Chain A
Amino acid sequence: MLIAGAFDEAGSPTIKIRVSGDRGSRDYAATIDTGFTGFVALPLVEMVPLGLSTDPGAASVMLGDGTIIENLVARGSVILGSHLAVGTILLDETSADVLIGMAFLRAFAVTLIVTDKIVALCDAAESVETVAELIQSAR
């Protein structure tokens, strides 16, 4: 699996994911945040159209300035390419960002590749040559 991403207007790396709940699925250009320790973070408003159930449960989240907030948590399915993983999704009532974190990379067993021109996720099935070709092709 080799999934190409893109940079958003702010220069942050993004990758397309599909999140599924009991009512449906939606595609998102999720920001890859290696400073996020969790799986996926979604705005709380996405909970209803997707039909995510909060179980119910909650977790605390430490933000970059040390502030601690509380989020609802839901169990959700995420598709990356043709692969599916189930994980804990944080639902934030104050943010419009869709984030994927380190637990996402672990769940899909992928390596994050970021250069000045490319963003990609690849798993162990990809050869070093294929990855090198991708990097070379962007030069």
Chain B
Amino acid sequence: MGQMTHPLPNPRVIAERGTKIYEQKYRTDYERESRGRYAAIDIDSECAYVANYPEEALAVAKAAAPHGTFYLVHIGSPAAFKISRRTGRAHRRSV
């Protein structure tokens, strides 16, 4: 039987930290220059890696910072992804 040896990271904590870094350091420039692309924000180093697709942004970020923790942003959008068939249940915040 498989065992979890490490606790799972908390996505809300990653998102809060990543959002704060993005708002403070990148949002203004990126929304002017790179709208529609994706940014992977390293919440430890505060570096950002931009690419056309989410897979690319995360791969570039991972290559640059193998031990980084990343928050993915779709530049110019309120969320990195949309799922129209699901609705909020016990979720926390809305736009």
Q: A54-B9, A68-B94, A73-B58 are in contact. Are A59 and B83 (CB under 8 A)?
A: no
Is residue A94 contacting chain B, with contact meaning CB distance below 8 A? yes
Nearest residue, chain A, Cβ from B12: A70
Cross-chain contact of A41 among B8, B18, B83 (Cβ < 8 A) = B83
Question: Residues 79-123 of chain A: 1 if any B CB is under 8 Å from the residue's CB, otherwise 0?
Answer: 000000011101000110101010100000000000000000000
Size of A's binding interface in residues, CB under 8 A? 46
- Interchain CA distance A75-B9 in the complex, whole Å: 15
Q: How large is the interface on B (under 10, 10 to 19, 20 to 34, 35 or more residues)?
A: 35 or more
Which residues of chain B have C-beta atoms less than 8 A from A44's C-beta?
8
Q: A57-B40, A58-B11 are in contact. Are A36 and B83 (CB under 8 A)?
A: yes
- Interchain CA distance A68-B82 in the complex, whole Å: 9
Is residue A64 contacting chain B, with contact meaning CB distance below 8 A? yes
Question: Residues 8-31 of chain B: 1 if any A CB is under 8 Å from the residue's CB, otherwise 0?
Answer: 110110110011000000000000
Which residues of chain A have C-beta atoms less than 8 A from B70's C-beta?
55-58
- Interchain CA distance A136-B11 in the complex, whole Å: 47
The answer to whether A58 and B72 have CB atoms under 8 Å apart is yes
The answer to whether A57 and B84 have CB atoms under 8 Å apart is no
- Interchain CA distance A109-B9 in the complex, whole Å: 33
The distance from the CB of B32 to the nearest CB of chain A, in whole angstroms, is 21
Question: Residues 65-95 of chain B: 1 if any A CB is under 8 Å from the residue's CB, otherwise 0?
Answer: 0000111100001111111111111111111
Which residues of chain B have C-beta atoms less than 8 A from A37's C-beta?
81-83
Which residues of chain A have C-beta atoms less than 8 A from B12's C-beta?
58, 70
- Sampled A-B contacts (9; CB under 8 Å): A36-B84, A58-B9, A58-B71, A59-B79, A60-B72, A60-B81, A61-B83, A62-B95, A88-B54
